[in-house]
Structures are given as structure tokens and as C-alpha cells.
Structure 1
Amino acid sequence: MNLSELQNKTVLLFGQSRAFSADEFSSQMKYHKINLTKEYSEDVVLVVDGKMMTPYEQNASDKLYEEKIDAKFMAIDALEKELAKHIDADTLMMSLKLSHDKDRLKDFLTNSMIDDELFLRLLKMYKWNGDNFFDTDDNRDVSAALIVRFYQNIERNHNVQYAALGIMHLVTQTKNEKLLEAVSYLEPIQQTMNLGVNEANNKIISAIVTNYATDRNVLNMFIKNANSYTRTLIAMREDCDEEMQMNLVKTEDEDVLKALSYNSNLSKHVVKKLLFNEGLAKNMARNLRHDDVLFEIFFKNYPNEVAKNEFISVEMQKKLIAYHAKDVMLALATNENLDKKVVLDLLKEESEELNLALYENSATPQESLEEAYDDELNHLALANNENTPKHILESLAQSGEIKVLKSLAKNISTPVEVLYQLQLDSRLERAVKENPNFGKHIMSENIGWEI
């Protein structure tokens, strides 16, 4: 239906409007130059069944339909949807801004017919009057409208619209940049950043800054205004760019700088800023994605930490072996991203301590683990290794060593049949029940047990 076809024509409405208030519905019809009436006449071109029709109105509508009058029939939802589609957003925004009519603004925010873009623009205009999302009836209605509109699968969890953490759950699941930005600038969130006392709102802030759909301008706003904990969350984001990193460095907050030192994607400029602190430098040596330049800087001063870095290349791993320092090679042996050839080179060192570390490392080839099984001294390390072949794990279950059995109980690669066997031992029961693989099996089999 095209509203222009109804211009200067008459529409008969039985009952009431649904999404729009009575005044707003009348105003919208008037804006489109559509005459509205409650009684039938020959001028009527459209009959609309609204909500809360009286028995008299229902009978009158049915009679007109049976008489096959020269008019179309429509439900109120379809007409209101069309009206919402043709709202002049700029004119409406200006009208609301000049009138300060909070009730009218709330009516639009709770109107499910308006589109998401207009809703978010109107949401920015809403005044929370220093109260939180659910503190007043009006705020509660607007908060519920926000959640219902954007929450995924709301029909499965409809009560979430009334929950204090409903907005947090919404923010966690959404990928809508404009929604995340709108929520970030809402008065209760901004107020929480200033006062920092609302636990639920702090959780919303944490959800926003850890959501990878959040715009960088919003993140910079939080860097500028939020507390230390929020900044540490931003500092550890993989997509924290150089501008954000520099803004975080400027805070001179020890916790924030420490969080930055764990970020694998720091710019060289920021790396230089943090090198003055040995603790931060060691963290960077262990966590940065090293190119040749960074590798040389950190290899010279912190080879042990570099050896534990999961991002170092095969060439870098070989350089660390060539350094031929026992503690460096031992650190390298614990790196679970070792190249297979590097593992074999380390095994050639024939060091018992080095071998035990390698036999516990999931990067070690299974053929090497097979060979290690022949020596009972290696059994504990093999029981800890997720890459140990299944048949060896089954054989280790016959061990009389409680340490070996406890490691098997915790190993996610241990066959479920073995875990069932181990849980019969009271010393191992809890370790088995806390094994994620066993828990997953229990859930899939729909079997319950108490911890």
C-alpha cells in the first residue's frame, strides 16, 4: 500500500491504534493529509480494524465486509507499519528537540514499528534524569524496548528484557557498531564512568570494550574516561592500534602498561616506550609477534622469555638452540609451537631435564613419544601430554604411581573409558569430574552427577 494513494481521502478506523498513541496516530495521518473517521460514509476508501474493538465495532466491520462496499480492508498493524516507514526523521527529531516532550519521545521508543536507525537516534535524545536503566517506570520501559528490539532470539529468553544485566547480554552478543556506540554514550553508562559504583553497568562497559565490533572512536572515549580495569581490557585487544596504545601509555597507569605488555601486536614506537621497565620488557619478549628487528632486541637481553614466545619463527627457534645455553633450551622445550625439526634437534642434546620437558610438550612428534614410553622415568611427562598416543595413555592407566594417574585424570586426551576407570579411585574422582572432556561426554550422554 502506498500512503500517497490515501492523500485527501478518508479512512475509517474501528477500535484504537496499536503501535502509535492515539494522538500520534492522528498526527501522522494528518501529516500525510489522510482524513480519519469513526463512522462509515461513501467517502471511506479504507476500513481499518484496530485493537480493542468493541462488539459493536466488530459487528459493523463484519457487516461492511459482507456488503462488499467499495473500500479496502486492512489490519491496524499494516497501516502503522506503513506510517512508520514514511516518518520524516529529521522533522521528528527537530520537533522533539524543540518541544522537550518526553512522553512523545518515549512513545516512539516503545513503538516496534519504527526502524532501528531512527530508534537509535531517538535513544540518544532520551533523558534518564540521573537514574539508572531500571530505576523508574519510564526508564524501565525504554530499556526493555532497547533489549527487545536488538536481543537475538528474544522469544527464547523473553524475561531478559526485565533483567538488570539484560543490556550487558545484549551488548555481548551484538555485532552492530551503531548499537554499541549508542549504548556507550547513554547517561547511565557515562555516569558510571564518573562514579564507578554500579556493578551491572561496569559489566556493560566491560562487554562493550571486549566486543570486537566496537568502533575505535568509542574505545578511545573509554580510554579517556573509564577506569583502570576498563583500560586494561582495551590494552589486551588484538586490534588495539597504535593511536589507542599511545593513549593508554599516556595514562601512566602501571596496570594498564602491564596489560599492554601482554599484547602481541604492539607498535615499535610503543615497545620502545615500555622497554625501560624490565618486567614489561620480559612480558613483551614472551608475547610480541617478533619480526627480525624485535627479535634481535629481545634475544640479546631476554633469551629465556623469547624462547617461550609462541610466535617465533623456525629460524628464530634455531638461533635460540645455536645460543646453546641450557636454560634457554629448557625454556624453548616448553614452547608448544615448536617446529618438529627443532624438537628433534633438542632431543639430540641428550639431556634428561630437556627430554622430560619435551615429552610433556604437545609439539613433540608422536613417534618420539612412542620411543619415550620404554623408559618408566618418562611416564609422568607422557601422562601430562595431550599429544600422547591413545594406546600409551591406556597403558599408563595401569601404573601404580598416583602422580601418573592424577595427570591422566586431568589430561583432556585420556580416553573416556579410562576416565570412568580412574574415577572409581576416590583420590582421582574430583580430577576426573573437572576434566573438560569428561564433562562434555557426560553432557552429550545426558547423564547427571554432582560435584
Structure 2
Amino acid sequence: MNLSELQNKTILLFGQSRAFSADEFQAQLKAHKINLTKEYGENVALVVDGKMMTPYEQIESEKIYEEKKTEFISINALEKELAKHIDADTLMMSLKLSNDKSRLKDFLTNSMIDDELYLRLLKMYSWGGEDFFDNDDNRDVSAALIVRFYENIERNHNVEYAALGLMHLITQSKDEKLIEAIFMLEPIQKSLLLDSNKANYKIISAIATNYYAPKNVLNMLVKKSNSYIRTLVAMREDCDEEMQFYLLESGDEAVLEALSYNSNIGKKVVKKLLFNEYLAKNMARNIHLNDELFEIFFKNYPNEVAKNEFISYEMQKKLVAYHSADVMMSLAKNEYIDKKIVVDLLSKESDEIKFALYENSATPQESLEEAYENVLNHFALANNENTPKHILELLAHSQDIKVLKSLAKNVSTPVETLYQLQLDSRLERSVKENPNFGRHIMHENIGWEI
């Protein structure tokens, strides 16, 4: 519908408005120069069926409709159109000048206005120094916020009344503007330094770990929050060097340790943390390696470097050439090992290294098939998610309970084989806890008792 076509015309409303309060509904109509009446007349250009119509209004509406005297529209359709044409800047100025909290609340509980305007209005709301659910007004606004943005709210219809509903909302959100808007709310800002027993603290933790949290929010968390929240930010891949230096200067041991686990830690920060052997080993295991960093860590911590997922083929060759049993064992357990290095290590005269490789999902299936010929390798193969299906099926005939338990836990074990294994009371629990078996049961809608 086009509101401009109703300018200087009259509409008849049966019942009441739904999303807008009665006063706001009339104010919006007035802004578009549309007159409102409660009785039918020749000048009525449109009839609106609202909520809570009386029996008399219902009869009158049906009579007018049957006589086809004028057009009809639902209150939802009209209010949606009115909301679409709200002059946001004018409304914001009006609310600031009037300081009308009741009117602001009406807009914040109005599902018809768009999200952009909603978030602008949310910034204006005063929580009165209280929490999200501490009084009726705050509770209504909090519930409306959750209902508006929570995915699949119909499946979690009570979540809007839970203090942790906002935490779950943050956890599922990919909207940077929404995350920022919630972070800036008064109850959250007041809770930045509180302990972990507070619901709002858990919301802050969810913000700190959300992949879509905007950079300005992360900067504020680094500068204003407590040690634990800083550790969460310190481990984020998008924690840039400026934030890393700020965290470094805090001198907080927990924060420094968290930084040492960050794969994107800057070179200058690396050099500042090298003095601490524990932190240096962490960095050797976790950092994105280039040639320069590899040489820095390879010199003192080759065993830790061998566990790093970012080692190139050339780096792996140097590690093998180091001729250290510990280093080669760490490399054999590394799921990012190059296939050519696997072949090289399999040629070594070490059963321990071979067992580690046969458990490693990076090992080529051809090598795993060859390994099956030796019964000593069966336990390792039963643990490997990359072991070929037909080998896993053969292993199910093993008499070794350790092999069977590993099979029962292996997510790659065929479901048919898992059904077979669960008949053994010793394996029943392991089969039921196997994620692959659980997904199959849910898909087939079959239940069991534990």
C-alpha cells in the first residue's frame, strides 16, 4: 500500500492498534495527514481490522466487507507501512527533547520498526542503574530485544525471560552492530570488572569469544575488563599487534600465557616473550611460522616446533634431519605432517614412531592398509579416523578388548559395525557416546536407555 494515497483521507479502525500504542498510532497517522475515525461514513477510504475487536465491531466489519463499500487492510499491514516511513532523525530528536521514557519503551517493544532504528533507540534507553530484569520496564525491553534477534525463538519461547538469554543471543549472533549495541548497554558496562558468578559477566565472555565482535569492542575489552576477559581476547586471531602490546604491558601472567597461544602473535611481541621458556615453548607450538620464526624457535625448541601445525615441508625435512627421537615422535603425531615425511619416518627403525603414524589421520591410507598385516598395529589403526572402512570392519573381529574399545569410540567406524559392537556389554557405553552413532540414532529417530 502507499501511504501518500491516503493523505487527507479518513480510515476506520475497528478494535485497537497492535504494535503502536493508541497515542503513537494516531501520531503516526497525523504525520502522514491521515484522519482516524471509529464510525463508518461516506468519507471512509479504508477499513482496518485491529486487535481486540468487540462483537459489535466484528459484525459491523463483516457487513461493510460484504457490501463492498470500501477497501480493507489488517492492522499488521498498516502498522508495518507506518513503521517503514518513520523519520528516524525526527523521532530521535523528539525523544531526546521530551525525555519520554514511556514512549521510547513503546518503540523498543514495537516489532514493526526496522533493526537499524531499533538499535539507535536502544542506545537512548536508560536502565536506571539497574540490571536487565530488575524492574518491569527493563524486563520488557530486554525481552523485546531477545525476541527480535534470537534465531528460532519459537523453539525457545521462554529464553526472553532468562537472564542468560542475552548470552545465548550473543553466542549465535553474526551481527557486528548488534554485538556492539549490547556491549555498550549500561548493565554490561557496569559489569566489566565483576566476577564470573554474574550473568552479565557471562554475556561479556560471550562477546569476547564471538568471531564477529567488532574491533572497537575488543579494544574496549582489552582496556576496561578484568584479567580473564583479557585472556579471551589475547587468544583471538584478530587480536592485532596494538592490542597485543597493550596486553603485554599489563604484565599479567595469565594474559601473557594466553598471548603465547595466539597463532598470529606479532614478531615484536614474540621477542618480548622469548625470555620466558614456558611462553617460548607455547609460541613454538602455536605460532604461524615463517622462515625467520622457524629459525628462532628451531634453535632452542625443535620438539615444540615439530608439534606446530604451520610447519612447511622444508621445515619438516630439517626437523627429521635433526636426528632426535623425541622430535621425530612429535612430528609423527602432528596431524599436519606431509605425506612424504610420513613415508620417510616409516622407514625409521622405531616401533613407537610407526605406532604414532598409524594413529595419525594424516598418514596415507595405503600405508594404513599395509600396517594391518601386522597385528601389533591393530590398536593404532582402530584409533585412526582415516583408517579405511574395510579395515575397521575387519578389526571388529579382533579378540583384543583394547582394539574393540578404540573401534567403538572411532567416529569413522561404520554404523553397522557399531551396532555389532554394542551387543558386547563392555563396549555398549563407548558406542552410545560415539558422536557418529548418536547422529545416526537422531536421524533414524531411534532411542535407547543409558
Q: Same fold (TM over 0.5)?
A: yes
Q: Distance in 1 between matches of 2:142 and 2:337?
A: 51
Q: Distance in 2 between matches of 1:29 and 1:205?
A: 41
Distance apart, 1:318 and its partner CA: 0.5
The one-letter code matched in structure 1 to 2:13 is: L
Secondary structure of the residue aligned to 1:158 is coil
Verify the 8 A CA contact 2:196 2:202 in the aligned structure 1. no
Identical columns (%): 77
Structure 1 residue 45 and structure 2 residue 30: aligned? no
The one-letter code matched in structure 2 to 1:134 is: F
Find the counterpart in structure 2 of residue 84 from structure 1.
83
Q: Distance in 1 between matches of 2:416 and 2:100?
A: 68
The one-letter code matched in structure 1 to 2:50 is: G
Measured against aligned partners, the alpha-carbon deviations of 1:65-103 in whole angstroms (never above 9, x if no partner) come to: 55555x544333232222222222122112212222111
Secondary structure of the residue aligned to 1:194 is coil
Find the counterpart in structure 2 of residue 152 from structure 1.
151
Q: Please, what TM-score do these two structures have when normalized by structure 1? A: 0.92
Find the counterpart in structure 2 of residue 320 from structure 1.
319
Distance apart, 1:319 and its partner CA: 0.9
Distance apart, 1:413 and its partner CA: 2.6
Structure 1 residue 175 and structure 2 residue 162: aligned? no
Q: Distance in 2 between matches of 1:12 and 1:443?
A: 53
**Aligned pairs for 1:305-316 within 5 A:** 305-316=304-315
Find the counterpart in structure 2 of residue 14 from structure 1.
14
Q: Distance in 2 between matches of 1:428 and 1:369?
A: 24
Verify the 8 A CA contact 2:179 2:213 in the aligned structure 1. yes
Find the counterpart in structure 2 of residue 54 from structure 1.
54
Q: Which runs of 5+ in 1 are unaligned?
A: none
Measured against aligned partners, the alpha-carbon deviations of 1:239-275 in whole angstroms (never above 9, x if no partner) come to: 2222232232233222222122112122212222221
Find the counterpart in structure 1 of residue 410 from structure 2.
411
Label 1:304 to 1:8 Cα distance change in 2 as closer, same or farther (>3 A). same
**Aligned pairs for 1:405-444 within 5 A:** 405-444=404-443
Q: Distance in 1 between matches of 2:311 and 2:243?
A: 25
Distance apart, 1:286 and its partner CA: 0.7
Label 1:373 to 1:57 Cα distance change in 2 as closer, same or farther (>3 A). closer
Secondary structure of the residue aligned to 1:195 is coil
The one-letter code matched in structure 1 to 2:229 is: T
Q: Distance in 2 between matches of 1:80 and 1:198?
A: 42
Q: Distance in 1 between matches of 2:394 and 2:15?
A: 78
Distance apart, 1:62 and its partner CA: 4.2
Label 1:315 to 1:102 Cα distance change in 2 as closer, same or farther (>3 A). same
Secondary structure of the residue aligned to 2:106 is helix
Verify the 8 A CA contact 1:192 1:198 in the aligned structure 2. no
Label 1:20 to 1:341 Cα distance change in 2 as closer, same or farther (>3 A). same
Label 1:436 to 1:12 Cα distance change in 2 as closer, same or farther (>3 A). closer
Q: Distance in 2 between matches of 1:402 and 1:328?
A: 31
State which drifts further: 420-429 or 129-138.
Answer: 420-429
Q: Distance in 2 between matches of 1:389 and 1:59?
A: 73
The one-letter code matched in structure 2 to 1:172 is: T
The one-letter code matched in structure 2 to 1:444 is: H
Label 1:53 to 1:395 Cα distance change in 2 as closer, same or farther (>3 A). closer
Distance apart, 1:22 and its partner CA: 1.4
Secondary structure of the residue aligned to 1:96 is helix
**Aligned pairs for 1:21-32 within 5 A:** 21-32=21-32
The one-letter code matched in structure 2 to 1:327 is: D
Secondary structure of the residue aligned to 1:45 is strand
Verify the 8 A CA contact 1:262 1:288 in the aligned structure 2. yes
Verify the 8 A CA contact 2:194 2:201 in the aligned structure 1. no
Q: Distance in 2 between matches of 1:46 and 1:293?
A: 75
Distance apart, 1:105 and its partner CA: 0.8
Counting matched residue pairs gives: 450
Label 1:301 to 1:6 Cα distance change in 2 as closer, same or farther (>3 A). same
**Aligned pairs for 1:257-268 within 5 A:** 257-268=256-267
Q: Distance in 2 between matches of 1:421 and 1:30?
A: 74
Verify the 8 A CA contact 2:18 2:51 in the aligned structure 1. yes
Distance apart, 1:307 and its partner CA: 0.6
Find the counterpart in structure 2 of residue 122 from structure 1.
121
**Aligned pairs for 1:292-311 within 5 A:** 292-311=291-310
Find the counterpart in structure 1 of residue 241 from structure 2.
242
The one-letter code matched in structure 2 to 1:309 is: N
Label 1:406 to 1:72 Cα distance change in 2 as closer, same or farther (>3 A). closer
Measured against aligned partners, the alpha-carbon deviations of 1:183-226 in whole angstroms (never above 9, x if no partner) come to: 11112212221333653322322222222222111111122222
Q: Distance in 1 between matches of 2:444 and 2:62?
A: 56
